[in-house]
A and B are shown apart, each in its own frame.
Chain A
Amino acid sequence: MADPVSGRIEALLTGSLNIPQEKIRPEADLRHDLGLDSFAAVELGYAIEEEFAIKVTDEELASVKTLGDLVAAVRRKVQGTTPEAAPAAP
């Protein structure tokens, strides 16, 4: 089963940030492989806050290096803070 958090972040990257699908891999470096400049990172942080109804601090955003790190960090937040935004249990 596809990971809903990962899928939703991928959709933000390919959608509002226009990152080509073929570049999307867990080990992809956000800055060097996906080409996110500092403003694109701010846009991504805002998009994640809106999508998951969570708060992403500047420090959290700066500490994330790869897409996999980002997905893991968001998953932790979603599970820890806002159960209603987490994937529905079967």
Chain B
Amino acid sequence: MAKRRAVVTGLGVVAPNGTGVAEFWKATLEGRSGVRLVTTFDVSLFDSKIAGTVEGLDPLAFLPPNVARKSDRFVHLGVAAASEALKDSGLDLEREDRTRAGCIIGSGLGGMLFHEEQILAGYEKGAHRLNPLCVPRVTPNAVASHIAIQHGLLGPNMVVSTACASATHAIGEAMRKILYGDADLMVTGGVEAPLTQFTFGAYAAMKVLSKRNDAPQKASRPFDRDRDGFVLAEGGAALVLEDLEHARRRGARVYAELVGYSAASGAHHMVIPDPTGSDAAQAMSLALRDAGIGPADVDYINAHGTSTHANDVAETKAIKDVFGDYARRIPISATKSVTGHAIGAAGGIEAVACCLTLDQQVIHPTTNLENPDPECDLDYVPGAAREARVNVVLSNSFGFGNANACLVFTRLAL
């Protein structure tokens, strides 16, 4: 029996700089940022007052009114992305064996908005008066459950929570479900809705957020000398992963093949990456080994690139460690330069960008990279998008707590 292979046949994204794949990709190629002043809650006492916000999302476009009203924003973002990806895949789920179709989504936080509202209500009225929807609205796996309920997916269903690497781990684990024969179709990706007063405050308390409030669109500037922290963002992204034979039988459009995945820990610190980059290097090397691809065959790296000194320098060191002299010749870009950092959704948004890079043979720029940090001296594709021959892509995600994951995508070799 031929080895099973996992291919990407559908994409969906709800990002600060674009709702829907087409809008997101155009904005990303053109370097248009989705970072804005926060208006949905009071930021007057925070040093940082900006975030990557998703504008104009209508949950009623893809959820029944009673479900939309009783679910948290992170569910809305996730179901929106999944619905677009499934539609894009052309799958007719009525004709599929739904026990072979599953859903694994990454989310670092779950339903924080309702959680915060209920904690405040509990202090006011007593914890014995909490809303019965508290658990089903807040629990992180609500997003995978709602996607399954809306689309009738009876296969593996779970949420992976590894902070900033959540979506990347989710996509890798979904790939394994297909390769191991547990499923033929997986809806996967990531989601986050951290733009609530307390959650924003929690990130602000770590002093990691950019304070460039006078120029929000310039605030997320990975690898730039003048960066001053990352920009918190919300968003959702989904991929339909499919067994190659299944995709071929139905004549599906294939964006890319997912050929490698790594999950590794630096076992170093809850917040700070290993400054030598050794844990990031380990994660990249393991993903390439899983893919059976040598470093010299990688044509593009989608960096974790958070716009923090700690990440950008360590990631640069790690890339040099893995790729040697070839590191200087690989184009590297950071999608977070235009989306901000959507935590558990980030790796999903970036996986969508990787698939589009392979499909359209164009690399998006690292926007706002105007004065490179001397410690970051690789080709981060500053300025404008670049047409290039791209057959192999590596995508990096390094989560708080050193939860690291990498994916390797290729153009489908026929």
Which positions in A face B, CB cutoff 8 Å? Answer: 16-18, 39, 42-43, 46, 49
Contacts and interface: CB of A to CB of B under 8 A. Distances in A.
A43 B133 contact: yes
5 contacts: A16-B66, A16-B70, A18-B64, A18-B65, A43-B133
Contacts of B70: 16
Contacts of A49: 129
Nearest to B64: A18
B60 to A, nearest CB: 13
Contacts of A18: 64-66
Interface of A is mostly: helix
Given A18-B65, A42-B132, A46-B131, 10 more contacts: A16-B66, A16-B69, A16-B70, A17-B66, A18-B64, A18-B66, A39-B132, A43-B133, A46-B132, A49-B129
A43 B69 CA distance: 13
Contacts of A43: 132-133
Contacts of B66: 16-18
Interface in B100-139: 129, 131-133
A46 B65 CA distance: 20
Contacts of B131: 46
B149 to A, nearest CB: 14
Nearest to A45: B132
B65 to A, nearest CB: 7
A69 to B, nearest CB: 21
A42 B134 CA distance: 12
A43 B70 CA distance: 11
Contacts of A42: 132
Contacts of A17: 66
A39 B132 CA distance: 8
Contacts of A16: 66, 69-70
A43 B137 CA distance: 13
A18 B132 CA distance: 16
Most buried by A among B65, B66, B69: B66
Interface in B67-105: 69-70
Nearest to A46: B132
Query: Closest 7 A-B residue pairs measured CB to CB?
Result: A18-B66, A42-B132, A46-B132, A43-B132, A46-B131, A18-B65, A43-B133
Nearest to B70: A16
